[in-house]
Amino acid sequence: MPTKDYVRWFSDIRLSDVAQVGGKNASLGELYATLSAEGVRVPNGFALIAEAYRDALTAAGAWEPLHRLFDNLDKSDVEKLAKHAAEARDIVYRATATGPLRDHIDRAYRQLETEYGANVAVAVRSSATAEDLPSASFAGQHESFLNVRGADQVFEACRRCFASLFTDRAISYRVDNGFDHFKVWLSVGVMKMVRSDRAASGVIFTLDTESGFRDVVFVTGVYGLGENIVQGTVNPDEFYVHKPTFRAGRRAVLSRALGDKQMRMIYADTGSGVRNVPVSEDERARFCISDAEVLELAANAITIEDHYSRSAGHPVPMDIEWAKDGDDGLLYIIQARPETVVSQRAPTGFETYALGGSGPVLATGRAVGEKIAAGPVRVITDASQLREFKPGEILVAQSTTPDWEPVMKIAGGIVTERGGRTCHAAIVARELGIPAVVGATDAKAVLATGVMVTVCCAEGDIGRVYQGALPIKKTHVELSEVKRPRTEIMLNLGNPELAFRTAMIPNDGVGLARMEFIINEHIKVHPMALVDPEKVASAEARAEIARLVRNYARPADYFIEKLSEGVGAIGAAFYPKPVIVRLSDFKTNEYARLLGGEGFEPHEENPMLGFRGAARYAHPAYAEGFALECAALRRVREDMGLTNVRIMVPFCRRVEEARRVLDAMAGHGLKRGENGLEIYVMCEIPNNVIQIDAFAELFDGFSIGSNDLTQLTLGVDRDSEIVAFDFDERDPGMLEMFRLAVTGAKRNGRHIGICGEAPANYPEVARFLTELGIDSISVNPSSILRTMQVVSDAENAVAATPPKVAG
């Protein structure tokens, strides 16, 4: 072997020595210096550059036998592929057993020992020149080794890393992605181990991994070494941070989700290696890192993304690994590479998926992707069963490994009992474009081989496995075909889990963000039961409330945090577009169904016209609960910095009632006009229309609630099937109410919109509202494209037909 120096310390690595990033050949040393200057900690270490691999194989005459093995190999012949791969690994392993290479590794490791102490533990990780490119992740294709000690063991691990260029899975992956086996070089990084076995570690993405939404940092974490999170052995904690407001100085965690974190990977008891141990129930009930640490990691991730983006000349979302050292308590970045799946989606169009039916839910977990697939189940409990797998089947397993990828490529969908959205199964499913549900506890027990199921990832963060093959609706829309009218077309949204993906479709913001879904699905508890838990009559309800709030200083803090996170997710998704959040509008019978709610709600014969909306907010029976709503919204606007959030008061019967509500809000720190706060009112009661001039003095805008306004104008119970035929927004009386509302609001210089499906369902209503000059129309996401077309056509028709002159 030529006498070259094959070792490069991290602070002096040319990118050409290790890997290409973003299509640019820049200096990794520059990145190291940039991170250090920004306070980002990176463990010290060195790399064996790719020339070490190339020169070793040249000196050993290994290229010719390797060509014989692979030049005409048919990868579909699995047995032959495995045989040739094993021979190739043996060739590379023997070729790299050279004295000079051993000497280089020995000297570098001794230098690390002078810095960190004798027998220092290191991670030995592969890095190929075709790895971590924008078009392919190569996730898990090559070997890495943790807790390696001593120069001899480091040398052995480096040789095994070099040989792993020819694992079965790596060979198959290169063929599938069009890489030449002999134009892929491999270097090896040797990094001082961070003692995360005594603390925590995880993965960061600088975008949302499911929707591709670019304005968030997504942080995941588990106890112990990070290999568990990649392998999908555990379900991690998850956190989101909003980049635009973070950059503006608002340092707040947008949302958090507690993972099971069942296992902790630690060092083996003797010598090198690692092992898993169970995590206590108490630790599992807590997040593995603090909010302050999440924000530090987010800052690091943004710094890294900015550096790579500058180098590449275009935005480069990143996939980053982090570790917390249990000895010094500090956070370290141990790997950074471009994200290679979601960020590569073409922005020219989008597809939407929806179920065309329903059925029993057999299993739930975290949704990966946004698609739906139906097929027969194939439960895999052992790798030896993979040969039985048939194309289109739904793969069900505890977790997956890179060796399973040939089978995963032909699966219709994937369901795993363990893992989060950054585990191996999730990464591969995204790359393959198939739906996956990960962390579906007991999936193997409830899903039997041969049973037909539907895997749905189109209903938010929760992925569901339904019994039977349900109808699937797929829509593809080219952005160039979407007509954007002059009238603002906004969205109605209640589920924060759909916010990021919904924000990707054309829209002008959120015209109606409903609190009720967040309270019902995420909080589950009546607000007054959190204000005064001792008044909850049911012992069972008290116990469940105590379980939900166990990690909070006050029960009320649970409500404030959960509601602010739900509203914040919607506000962040559409930032800086307006998001109009309606205060809670449950009826008393709906409030009573919340946990602990029965004792706080009166029985009413007609809840639709009873104690609801604005009537509750300043009333002694609910004033303390309303204070929690206000505290959550104040946190969204002030702590999170989401000042695009506007507040809307529902079902406000009288002007005096409006004044009482506004006074109560001001008393809770939500004063109209302060910090740009705009407060709207629902225009859904005839009195709102009749007294629109008086209401306009108190509010910044109106939103016509066509459902309640139609019900109260026509005297029709919208929930009664027997009189449903009389419920019609096109009735002349309703059109006159619309006219009075729109013209009245505009007369007072106030914003006026409508939140309802009437403009989407009835083109004549859309044209009528367009003629009146309504400012915005807000509809459900499934109707927005149709509404844009209808309103655009209506605007064109109005433009072509001059208005009639009176007289």
pLDDT single digits (tens) 583-595: 999 999 999 999 9
The DSSP H or E segment spanning 556 is helix 555-574
Contact 529, 535 (CB under 8 A): yes
**How far apart, in whole angstroms, are the C-alpha atoms of residue 131 and residue 127?**
7
Cβ proximity of 731 and 714 under 8 Å = yes
Distance CA(544)–CA(224), nearest Å, equals 30
| Distance from C-alpha of 181 to C-alpha of 167, rounded to nearest angstrom | 12
The strand pairing partners of 361, in sequence order, are 466
Instruction: Copy the structure tokens of residue 495.
Output: 């589920």
Query: How many Å apart are CA 189 and CA 10, to the nearest integer?
Result: 9
Which residues are CB-contacts of 679 (< 8 A; sequence separation ≥ 6)? Answer: 646, 647, 648, 649, 662, 665, 670, 672, 699, 700
The pLDDT tens digits for 281-338 are 999 999 999 999 999 999 999 999 998 898 889 999 999 999 999 999 999 998 888 8
- The CA distance from 777 to 767, in Å, is 12
The whole-angstrom separation of Cα 211 and Cα 511 is 21
In the predicted structure, residue 805 carries a pLDDT above the cut 70: no
Amino acid 251 reads: R
The Cα-based distances of 489 to 249, 753, 783 in angstroms read 31, 10, 10
Query: Above 50 in pLDDT, residue 454?
Result: yes
Residue 288 to residues 42, 265, 300, 785: CA-CA distances in angstroms? 21, 14, 18, 42
Triad 306, 339, 164: Cα angle to 5°: 125
Q: What does the block give as tokens for 31?
A: 């990145």
Torsion angles phi and psi, residue 248, rounded to 5: -80, 5
Buried b / exposed e along 283-293 (16+ C-beta atoms within 10 A): ebeebbbeeeb
DSSP assignment string, 388-412? G--TT-EEEES---GGGHHHHTT-S
Is the CB of residue 574 less than 8 Å from the CB of residue 509? yes
Contacts of 184 (CB under 8 A, 6+ apart): 128, 129, 130, 165, 174
pTM of the predicted model as reported, rounded to 2 decimal places: 0.85
- Report which residue type is found at 360: P
Judge whether residue 31 has pLDDT over 70: no
Is cis: bond before 576, omega within 30 of 0? Answer: yes
pLDDT the model gives residue 19: 40
Contact 602, 576 (CB under 8 A): no
**pLDDT at 23 exceeding the cut of 50:** no
pLDDT of residue 288: 97
- Tell me which residue has tokens 């939404």: 213
Interhelix angle 732-747/763-772, nearest 10 degrees: 30
| Number of neighbours of residue 537 by Cβ within 10 angstroms | 9
Residue 295: what residue type?
A: L
Which of the residue ranges 342-351, 665-674, 737-746 would you say has the lowest mean pLDDT?
342-351
Long-range contacts of 539-548 (CB under 8 A, 24+ apart): 541/595, 541/596, 542/596, 544/595, 545/595, 545/596, 548/524
Distance CA 270, CA 789 (A): 69
Q: How far apart are CA 45 and CA 36, in angstroms?
A: 14
- Grade residue 722 by pLDDT with cuts at 50, 70 and 90: confident
Question: Which tens digits make up the pLDDT trace of 603-627?
Answer: 998 898 999 999 999 999 999 999 9
Displacement of CA 668 from its chain's centroid (Å):
32
pLDDT of residue 807: 45
| Alpha carbon distance 790, 470 (integer Å) | 31
- The pairing of strands 579-582 and 510-514 is parallel
Question: By C-alpha distance, which of 552, 559, 123 is closest to 323?
Answer: 123
Write the pLDDT tens digit of every residue in 387-422.
899 999 999 999 988 778 778 889 999 999 998 877
Does position 513 have pLDDT exceeding 80, yes or no?
yes
Per-residue pLDDT, 449? 96
Q: Taking a C-beta distance cutoff of 8 angstroms, is the pair 632, 559 a contact?
A: yes
Q: Which two tokens stand for residue 418?
A: 């363990």
131 has pLDDT over 50: no
Q: What percent of the chain has pLDDT over 70?
A: 94
pLDDT of 690 higher than 90: yes
Q: In this predicted structure, what is the pLDDT of residue 678?
A: 98
pLDDT in tens, 628-675: 999 999 999 999 999 999 999 999 999 999 999 999 999 999 999 999
Predicted local distance difference test score (pLDDT) of residue 338: 85
482 or 106: which leads in pLDDT: 106
C-alpha dihedral, 733 to 736 to 737 to 743, nearest 10°: 180
Check if the beta carbon of residue 424 is closer than 8 Å to that of residue 399.
Answer: yes
Confidence band of 29 (pLDDT split at 50, 70, 90) = low
Catalytic residues: 424, 755
Q: How confident is the model at residue 130 (pLDDT cuts 50, 70, 90)?
A: low
Q: For residue 513, list its beta bridge partners.
A: 493, 581
Kindly state the DSSP code that residue 804 receives in the 8-state scheme.
P
- Model confidence at 458, pLDDT cuts 50, 70, 90, reads confident
pLDDT value at 26 more than 50: no
**Dihedral pair phi/psi, residue 620, rounded to 5°:** -55, -25
Distance linking the first and last C-alpha atoms of the chain: 100
Quote the CA–CA distance of 736 and 690 in Å, as a whole number: 12
pLDDT of residue 227 exceeding 60:
yes
User: For residue 547, what are the β-bridge partners?
Assistant: none
Q: Find the mean pLDDT for residues 101-122.
A: 93
- From the number of C-beta atoms within 10 Å of its C-beta (0-12, 13-18, 19+), residue 65 rates as middle
Mean predicted confidence (pLDDT) in 369-379: 93
The residue that leads in pLDDT, 351 or 712, is 712
- H or E, element range at 624: helix 623-634
Q: What is the residue whose two structure tokens read 């640490």? A: 293
User: Does residue 3 sit in helix, strand or coil?
Assistant: coil
> What is the reported pLDDT for 53?
86
Encode 83-150 in three state secondary structure. HHHHHHHHHHHHHCCCHHHHHHHHHHHHHHHHHHCCCCCEEEEEEECCCCECCECCCCCCCEEEEECC
- Could you tell me which residue, 42 or 513, shows the higher pLDDT? 513
pLDDT at 1 over 50: no
Q: Which of 230, 238, 227, 235 is nearest to 266 (CA)?
A: 227
Output 214 or 804, whichever has higher pLDDT: 214
Q: Which two tokens stand for residue 780?
A: 């459900």
Residue 15 pLDDT more than 60? no
Q: What is the pLDDT of residue 465?
A: 97
- What is the band of 24 on the pLDDT scale with cuts at 50, 70, 90? very low
Residue with more model confidence, 234 or 10: 234
% of the chain residues with pLDDT over 90: 63
Q: What is the pLDDT of residues 767-782, one digit of tens each?
A: 899 999 999 999 888 7
Q: Which residues contact 778 (CB under 8 A, 6 or more apart)?
A: 489, 490, 491, 492, 510, 511, 512, 703, 753, 754, 755, 756
Q: What is the pLDDT of residue 20?
A: 35
Q: What is the mean pLDDT of residues 6-24?
A: 55
Could you read off the pLDDT of 159-217 as tens digits, one per residue?
Answer: 999 999 998 888 888 888 788 888 887 888 899 999 999 999 999 999 999 889 999 99
Count of H-run helices and E-run strands, the chain: 31, 30
pLDDT of residue 129: 64
Query: The tokens of 641 are what?
Result: 């910095």
